[in-house]
Amino acid sequence: MPVSLKTASAGLTSWAFLLALLIVNLINSPYMLNAQVMFGMLAVAMPLVLGAMAVTPSILSGGGGLDLSIGPLMGFINILLVTSVGAALPGFAAVVVLMLIGAVIGGLNGVLVAIVRVQPIVATLGTYLILSGINLWLLPIPIGPAPDWLLALSRSVAGIPGSVVLLLIPAIIWLILLYTPFVRTLLAVGGDDRVAFSVGINVTAVRILAYALGGLIAAVAGIALTALIQSADASVGPPFTLQVVTAAALGGISLAGGRGGMRNGIKGALSLFLIQTLLTDLGVSTYWQQVCFGGTLLLALVLNSNLTAQVLSGWRRR
Amino acid sequence: MIRRNISLTETALPQVVAIILMFIAGSVLIDGYFSSRSMISILVFASFVAIAASGQTTVALLGGIDLSIPAVMGLANVMTAALSSQGWPFWTVLLVIFGFAVVIGAMNGLLSMALNINSLIVTLATGAIVGGAVLAWTGGTPTGSAPKWLSSFVAPSGQFVGLPLPGVLLFWVLFSAVWLFVLHKTIFGRWIYATGSSPVAASIAGVPTIRVWILTFAFSACGAATAGVLLAGFTSQGDVRVAAPYLFSTVACVVIGGTSLVGARGGYGRTILGAIILTQMTSLLIALGLNTFLQQAILGALIIVVVASYGREAAVADRL
């Protein structure tokens, strides 16, 4: 895939930002330089990372695309896993079934956006309300415990932390897709759907698939969330929506669509997580953390914006 | 005035029909629905949402969205209760609140337009900053108490200058008149529609688009602040979190009313209808004894159905 110089340098900047955050974290709390602690932190970060990956395809698909229902969908999968699917099926089958459920719900969002043609924010706001309502109706009070195999997943599988195994699922799917025309077609649709349509791309199908893929990854995120909290709780899912959108933006993905990839979601989520960890270790109250997190997001936006890029390139030319 | 063909989707007929149908359904199904008392309380609740959504409407006309509305409402809510109970005169409280609102809103508009960043993310960030700062200030607990007269001003059973109507309803009429006048009868209102329709074309035609974005977002924050002050009369204590539901409900009543989030289609009159529909629907579902959580699910489904019935976007093939 051709990568322009500008996006390449922007990519480097955000990797540097992530690395700097990691170093500052390690200097502030040297105890983190320990495989066990690192694995534990990865497990905590995983629902956010996977959630940010889940919101990415819908943003890439353009046309104001954005799946606001990722959070409640993660919560829905969390509830199904603990209350029914996880209890009825063995581990592997349960994961596959839940991923299919996620893909179907995501696909329905895609149908609303691409065929019914409701603005994506409105359509997925609707499914956000539907899913979070159903979650609370199914499970007014939190229950546990989660199935036994999930406990194993929260520790380690064959020497690899269980949470990383979950990360491999969407990573492998995306890597395979990179070798098919799908990703390039998705970026074309996101860049300008009229041009994509004119060259014969099935814009409707591509958009539906993008939302279905997002739903599938959201299901994996829901499983990671369950592995982390080891119970079912209808109130934990919905707040993830704002966090994953923030993570995607922080990762430098263009909200206009057509530019970026999974790496943006992952980078953004890890940065957000490291900021939260740093602030917690510094003893900053959750309220001030919220302020710092908003401020960081604004700063990242300003630094990533076109105008700033123009000003900087103007300086270079001089 | 620009003359254009008026189709069903461009009139507010579906909304008016929905209001009448729900009114009939409520009167038949629910005892005591057909009374001035219940009508007034529905209108009072609608007035909170409609005033909070006034800014969301104008921002939507530009093609933007304002997610900092709950934070600004919370800020106004807390300040009204906290500063009033410290003995500040009410007008100084208002001065401080609207000062903050103008600054926050102007920041939103400036960053979104001048730096060309999606307003969804900008307002998400400023909302987090404002909401977090207020929570840190109050320590997260409800504080202060709103002035007594404000509570009776917004109470559905209240009376105002001898009329059997709560003051907040008369205020809403006045507020709406001002908002509609600005949108439809002033040059600034024309600029909003022009900018929302095509920022490039508007800019070429001499519209100061960046200034329009800054002022519109400042207006939006002021609308939210107004709703926050009124809400303090209702909750009596100040708490930033009481405004959380307004994040989605303001968007919901804008789209149910028929204002497009893509810009330049719709207006505040539609949002007033949207707010009445939303409140009517909620009160019907409550009165029918439906589980609160399922109500939320049904509301979500209705938003999709309502928007799909008239707010569909053009197919790609039709936009070539």
Measure the CA–CA gap between A172 and A186, rounded to whole angstroms. 18
Q: Residue B121: what pLDDT?
A: 82
Among A118, A127, A292, select the one facing B307 at the smallest CB separation: A118
Chain A residues touching residue B65 (CB < 8 angstroms)? 121
Tell me the pLDDT band of A11, cut-offs 50, 70 and 90.
low
B20-36 pLDDT per residue, tens: 998 898 888 888 888 88
Kindly indicate the confidence band of residue A37, based on its pLDDT and cuts at 50, 70 and 90: confident
pLDDT tens digit string along B65-88? 998 999 999 999 999 999 988 889
Question: Count of residues for chain B?
Answer: 320
From the list A117, A198, A308, the residue facing B320 with the nearest CB is A198
Residue A54 has pLDDT above 60, yes or no: yes
Single-letter amino acid, residue B209:
T
Q: Is A128 on the interface with B (CB under 8 A)?
A: yes
Residue of chain B whose alpha carbon sits nearest to that of A242: B124
Query: Which of B125, B131, B297 comes nearest A129 by C-beta?
Result: B297
Banded model confidence at residue A159, pLDDT cuts 50, 70, 90: low
- What's B160's DSSP letter? B
Name the pTM for this structure. Answer: 0.84
Q: Which helix (H) or strand (E) holds A160?
A: strand A160-161
Query: CB distance from A293 to chain B under 8 Å?
Result: yes
A194·B126 Cβ contact <8 A: no
User: What is the SS3 assignment for B163-196?
Assistant: ECCCHHHHHHHHHHHHHHHHHHHCHHHHHHHHHH
**Tell me, what amino acid is at B126?**
T
Compute φ and ψ for A79, nearest 5 degrees: -70, -45
Q: Which residues of chain B neighbour A121 with C-beta distances below 8 Å? A: 65, 120, 251, 261
Question: Whole-angstrom distance between the N-terminal and C-terminal Cα of chain A?
Answer: 32
Q: Looking at the predicted structure, is the pLDDT value of residue A6 above 60? A: no
β-partners of residue A161 are A156
Q: Decide if B267 contacts B259 (C-beta within 8 A).
A: yes
What token pair was written down for B83?
């500063």
- Is A161 strand, coil or helix? strand
Three-class SS of residue B143? strand
Closest chain B CA to residue A247 = B121
Interface of A with B in 4-63 (CB under 8 A): none
| B121: nearest CB among A129, A249, A307 | A249
Q: Assess whether pLDDT exceeds 60 at residue B190.
A: yes
Q: Indicate the pLDDT class of residue A2, thresholds 50, 70 and 90.
A: very low
Q: Which of A134-143, A217-226, B22-31 has the lowest mean pLDDT?
A: B22-31
| Of B41, B43, B42, B97, the residue nearest B73 (C-alpha) | B97
Which of these, B269, B260, B231, B278, lies nearest to B72 by C-alpha position? B231
Cβ count within 10 A of residue B115: 15
Residue A129 pLDDT > 50, yes or no?
A: yes
The answer to whether the CB of B53 falls within 8 A of the CB of B115 is no
Q: Is residue A120 reached through a cis peptide bond, with omega within 30 degrees of 0 on the bond before it?
A: no
Provide the shortest C-alpha distance from residue B153 to chain A (in Å).
32
What is the model's pLDDT at position B13?
83
Q: Look at residue A139 in the predicted model and tell me its pLDDT.
A: 92
Residue of A79, A105, A118, A195 to mutate, testing the B interface (most B Cβ within 10 Å of its Cβ): A118
- pLDDT of A82: 92
Report CB contact under 8 Å: A118, B311: yes
Asked whether the ipTM of the predicted complex exceeds the cut of 0.90, the reply is: no
* End-to-end C-alpha distance for chain B, whole angstroms: 28
- Which candidate, A204, A222, A185, A187, places its Cα nearest to that of A100? A222
